[in-house]
């Protein structure tokens, strides 16, 4: 099991695996309502408009900054459509700086591909929720995501030759 240092200092053991969360920050954020103000009349449920459809796209990337420091960026894009019109588009790039040392290449990839996005997701979820509500739409709460399963699926796709981003529809 990995030793998790909480104060940003290296362990005296030196070779024990360490994971240190150094910083969480918003790298980029965007909210668009391309059909405002007309879309609000359609979204209110008046008339015979179809139910809103929501598409969630997730992605993440990591950059090795050297000295066992990695920037991991979780990208969340939420697109809500009403019929053929886009009601809103919310995008967040939630990032974190992680000190990751003493892991094998495979284990480090798992930490970066699953554990780090899992830590970043609640922050991105809160931003999405706030933007949607402040954008004039009913509250929207993203459901929890199983990043372990997404990472396992990504590994399976990479070994079978495909590499498509994760997309969830609801």
Q: Which domains does the chain have, with CATH numbers?
A: 18-159 (3.10.420.10)
- Give the rounded percent of residues in the chain with a pLDDT score beyond 70: 83
Output the pLDDT for position 3. 47
Compare 170 and 37 and report the one with higher pLDDT.
37
Angle at 66 between CA 11 and CA 147, to 5 degrees: 80
Helix axes 147-160, 116-134, angle to 10 degrees: 110
Geometric angle at alpha carbon 69, from 68 and 71, rounded to 5°: 145
CA distance 56 to 140: 12
In this predicted structure, what is the pLDDT of residue 14? Answer: 55
Averaged pLDDT for residues 101-115: 96
CA distance to 10, 36, 76, 92, per residue, from 57 (Å): 36, 23, 6, 11
pLDDT at 165: 52
The per-residue pLDDT for range 1-50, each reduced to its tens digit, is 444 444 444 444 457 999 999 999 999 999 999 999 998 887 765 556 67
Question: What was the pLDDT predicted at 1?
Answer: 41
Q: What is the mean predicted confidence (pLDDT) over 133-150?
A: 94
Task: Pick the more confident residue, 170 or 129.
Answer: 129
pLDDT band at 164; cut points 50, 70, 90: low
Q: What is the mean pLDDT of residues 74-94?
A: 95
Helix%, strand%, coil% for the chain, nearest 5 = 30, 40, 30
Residue 162 reports pLDDT greater than 90? no
Average pLDDT value for residue range 145-169:
78
């Amino acid at each position: 099991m990995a030793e998790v240092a909480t104060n940003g200092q290296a362990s005296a053991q030196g070779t024990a695996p360490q994971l240190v969360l150094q910083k969480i920050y918003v790298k980029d954020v965007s909210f668009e309502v391309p059909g405002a103000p007309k879309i609000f009349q359609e979204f209110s449920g008046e008339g015979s408009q179809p139910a809103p459809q929501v598409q969630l796209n997730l992605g993440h990337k990591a950059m090795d900054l050297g000295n066992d420091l990695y920037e991991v960026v979780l990208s969340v894009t939420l697109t809500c459509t009403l019929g053929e019109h886009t009601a809103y588009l919310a995008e967040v790039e939630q990032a974190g700086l992680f000190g990751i040392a003493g892991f094998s290449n495979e284990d480090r990839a798992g930490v970066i591909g699953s554990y780090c996005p899992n830590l970043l997701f609640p922050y991105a979820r809160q931003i999405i929720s706030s933007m949607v509500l402040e954008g004039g739409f009913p509250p929207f709460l993203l459901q929890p995501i199983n990043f372990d399963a997404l990472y396992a699926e990504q590994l399976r796709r990479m070994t079978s030759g495909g590499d498509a981003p994760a997309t969830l529809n609801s």
